[in-house]
Every structure is written in structure tokens, then in C-alpha cells.
Amino acid sequence: MIDPIPLYRTMYQHMGPQHWWPADTKIEIVIGAILVQNTNWNNADLALENLRRTTSLDVKRILALSVTEVQDLVRPSGFYVNKTKSLLSVLSWFNEHHCHFEQMVIDYGRSLRQRLLKLPGIGEETADSLLVYVFDQPIFIADKYARKLFSFLGYQNVEKYDTLKKQVRLPQNFTYQDAQEFHGLIDEFGKRYLKNRSQFDTSFLAPNKPAHLNEKNKTRKK
């Protein structure tokens, strides 16, 4: 199992608080999490701004639009047909629960993640992002940057989302605020240092590999 706390503390000390996800409301986070799939944040933000200008990101106003209208608004984010289907389905589900996030946690309990995964267009990463940023759950998000980071740090079997997620054990006192910061730190670090190995080797994390990995490297050199 991987203890992520030393890594979290080191990144926090060097980079400071990230206050990520960039959004004013939780519904904006929900919408952004769908729009940012398979694209960069700039493209997602263009689509988000279209929706904001037209509907003020009000769930009922978005659901009152026609499918074609929503497709036109989210087009800048790419894959607009599938994203429209996912967005309308997800927002309909939230609307059924009156966007009462705390009550949804109570109602679904431990099955909340599985319920999210049944929604169109919601995969593991998006589900975990919603759990952390919308439902205030202390979950590790094993996104692309996280997998690349742990791989560069020398960990094995971290190439797939579920294999890394299963290895990272968060302590009981790890809060959802910690989970948000950890995800934000990893993503900001990724943008700066994870383009390739040589870029990572210039980062503050390069000489800070876990001790047991250094021992393995020494053994291999012998």
C-alpha cells in the first residue's frame, strides 16, 4: 500500500494551497466536470461561459432548453453530442433530489459512487471528482497526472485508474478538504513538471523518492 501523506506534505510545503476546483457553486463543478472530459480546461470554460450567459447555470433553466440548444452551447468543449446527453441526464438526477447534496450522501450512503457510475458519461475519475468536490468525501482521485506522478516516483502497477486508487490508502483523519488540495496540487504539479521524465527530473520531487524505492535502485545498481 502507498502512504501518500509524505508526498502531500512535501507538495503543500513547496506549492501552497491550490483552492481547486475553479468554480463558484457546486452545480458549476458538476457541469465543469462533464465538460472538461477529453479536453482542456480552456475549452470547457468556453462552453461553461455559454451556459452561464444563457442560463446563469440554473439547473431548471438548463433542463428547459432543447437538446439542440444545449449542444450548441457546449460545442466548444468537444464531443458535444455525448456531453449534452450526459449533462442533461446528470442534472436531471440532481434536480430530482433538489440538488440537496448532503441529503443525497445520507440517502445513498456507500452506494453513492456506484449510483454516479450508472449515469451516462460518468466514469471513475468524474465520479470521484464529484464525490470530493460536490459531496465532500475524502477520496483519492487517481487521474492521469496522479498516475504519471506515481509512475515517475517509481511505483509499480499504477498505470490504470483502479490499480493506483486501490494502492493509495488515505488515513482516517484525511478530510475532504485535504483530498481537494491533494488533487489540486497533483494537477498543478502535472502541468508544470509531468510533460516528460526530463521535466520531472528538474522538479522538487525528483530527489525525494520514497526510501524503499531508493534501496531498490541501489540494489539494482549493484
**Any idea where the domains of the chain sit in the sequence?**
5-18+140-215, 26-133
Owner of C-alpha cell 468554480: 23
Distance CA 55, CA 213 (A): 52
Confidence (pTM): 0.89
What pLDDT digit, counting tens, does each position of 33-83 carry?
Answer: 999 999 999 999 999 999 999 999 999 999 999 999 999 999 999 999 999
With cut-offs at 50, 70 and 90, classify the pLDDT of residue 208. Answer: low
User: Residue 48 has which C-alpha cell?
Assistant: 461553461
Phi/psi for 62 (5° steps) reads -65, -45
Cβ contact 89:121 at 8 Å: yes
- pLDDT value at position 210? 52
- pLDDT value at position 219? 35
Q: Which residue has the higher pLDDT, 19 or 159?
A: 159
- pLDDT value at position 6? 95
Distance CA 211, CA 19 (A): 30
Within 10 A of 207 (CB to CB), how many other CB atoms are there?
8
pLDDT over 50 (residue 134): yes
Q: Does domain 26-133 have CATH number 3.30.200.20?
A: no
Distance CA 98, CA 115 (A): 17
User: Residue 42 has which C-alpha cell?
Assistant: 480552456
- pLDDT value at position 75? 98
- pLDDT value at position 213? 47
What pLDDT digit, counting tens, does each position of 138-169 carry?
Answer: 999 999 999 999 999 999 999 999 999 999 99
With cut-offs at 50, 70 and 90, classify the pLDDT of residue 220. Answer: very low
User: Residue 191 has which C-alpha cell?
Assistant: 502541468
For the chain, the straight-line distance linking the first and the last C-alpha, in angstroms and rounded, comes to 26
- pLDDT value at position 22? 76
Residue 113: helix, strand or coil by DSSP?
Answer: helix
Residue 177: helix, strand or coil by DSSP?
Answer: helix
154: left (phi over 0), alpha (psi -120 to 50) or beta: left
Distance CA 211, CA 218 (A): 11
- pLDDT value at position 209? 53
Average pLDDT over residues 199-221: 62
Residue 152: helix, strand or coil by DSSP?
Answer: helix
- pLDDT value at position 19? 85
